[in-house]
Structure 1
């Protein structure tokens, strides 16, 4: 098993598998990819959802059932688009849909969207654990807020505060979790969007995190290094149980009752009394 995938599953309470995304730049790359081609047209975000539950696929423009996603990922060339690119770039399209209060706001949103600047033939979408002979370009984790917090704490351990987060609740999996993190080489959070919640049927409490693969090892290490100060004893017991089942219990480095917040809350008078008692 991949070391990064193993420790993500040991340290976090993930209901879905982390998903690796790999861009396939040519038809030759696409044909050489052993991951099965998607059987019927499907939006990219739904393919990511399927991969998170054990159904990997590769897709190209012909079987991608969402042109917005195809634009964001570099599958759809501007000259092949059925929509005038200026209508999208200008912000007119989303303004006409009623997504934003006025044209100026829609224009600002459109300008801030970061799409892949490359052109690719296809995309491989599979569980991170399945990438055994090569690495993905990006990893997407869909999970609840608690796990998202721990991932960002792991990120912050090595990289500092997560900055320049882009969240609009629109084009969530394709742009907020894929093209923006990939183009900017930056972790990004997403609250998902109405479109993907409808077509991919995510749970109500799920959110997404896009992680450039080159940062994953340090983030996983940060999650491990911050477990003792950050995690509760209940969580640590669960971590130890999973580590034991995976045969890595001795490597977990878990210390019970060492949280930074144990005994850390109380009024100023409470802490004065506590300090006085410790000095006697």
Structure 2
């Protein structure tokens, strides 16, 4: 088993995180739920669930406990709603100048297949399950160190995928799981309003398979002579 507690401690210290990195798992059937993990009592958005885990809570959430239809859709819990699919939802929110602009954005939102039974959350150090994605909230300088760590072994460029909507559910969760690549996002109005992301924070999602590599690289990057201390 990967030592998630050790990796979490490294991320917290090196990145000066407020709260924990969050382990997220997509479960396809009831019998695959991690043993001993309780169902969340309240009905809230995925972005709020991630924040609750960041604060220390461990739980799972079936579709009935997901308040946000858009988040439940991209996480594979339910079909896309009519107003979302038509573009009307974001047009009414004033996010786009036309129905076409709203549709084009929605059509390009990464979404999981509609076969998810539940989503599972824990602070990384408390994860008793193998996560699919680990989500990190941090300030821009810490995100710089994460970006540099991502490129430490092979170099290259990073091409973040985001559109200013559905940042925690799609940008940091669904996209990462679908593509197996880290992703950085500026957040969105919904997540900043409902989940507790600070105005000065960004969000990033990482495939769980790359956690050990990321933590090792982070220690080297932050200690490098060229890094701002």
Equivalent of residue 104 in structure 1, options 84, 100, 105 = 100
Corresponding residue number in structure 1 for 2:49: 47
List gaps (5 residues or longer) in structure 2. Answer: none
Equivalent of residue 138 in structure 2, options 134, 143, 150 = 143
The 3 A distance-change label for structure 1 pair 67 and 230 is farther
Q: CA deviation at 1:90?
A: 4.6
**Aligned mates of 2:158, 2:70 — CA distance in 1:** 26
**Aligned mates of 2:161, 2:117 — CA distance in 1:** 27
List gaps (5 residues or longer) in structure 1. Answer: 236-280
Give the alignment of 1:117-196 within 5 angstroms. 117-132=113-128, 134-196=129-191
The 3 A distance-change label for structure 1 pair 199 and 159 is same
Q: CA deviation at 1:118?
A: 4.7
Corresponding residue number in structure 2 for 1:201: 196
TM-score (norm 2): 0.90
Superposed CA RMSD: 1.8
**Aligned mates of 1:188, 1:135 — CA distance in 2:** 19
**Aligned mates of 2:69, 2:114 — CA distance in 1:** 16
Corresponding residue number in structure 1 for 2:15: 12
Q: CA deviation at 1:153?
A: 0.6
**Aligned mates of 1:65, 1:104 — CA distance in 2:** 26
Residues 36-61 of structure 1: per-residue CA shift (max 9 Å, x gap): 21111111110100110112221011
**Aligned mates of 2:185, 2:199 — CA distance in 1:** 13
Q: Provide the aligned length of Structure 1 versus Structure 2.
A: 225
Q: CA deviation at 1:208?
A: 0.4
Q: Which moved more, 1:90-99 or 1:141-150?
A: 90-99
Cα contact 1:61–1:75 (8 A) shared by 2: yes
Corresponding residue number in structure 1 for 2:6: 3
Corresponding residue number in structure 2 for 1:23: 26
Cα contact 2:22–2:123 (8 A) shared by 1: yes
TM-score (norm 1): 0.75
**Aligned mates of 1:103, 1:193 — CA distance in 2:** 20
Residues 192-212 of structure 1: per-residue CA shift (max 9 Å, x gap): 111111111221101100111
Q: CA deviation at 1:19?
A: 0.3
Give the alignment of 1:229-244 within 5 angstroms. 229-232=225-228, 235=229
**Aligned mates of 2:156, 2:214 — CA distance in 1:** 13
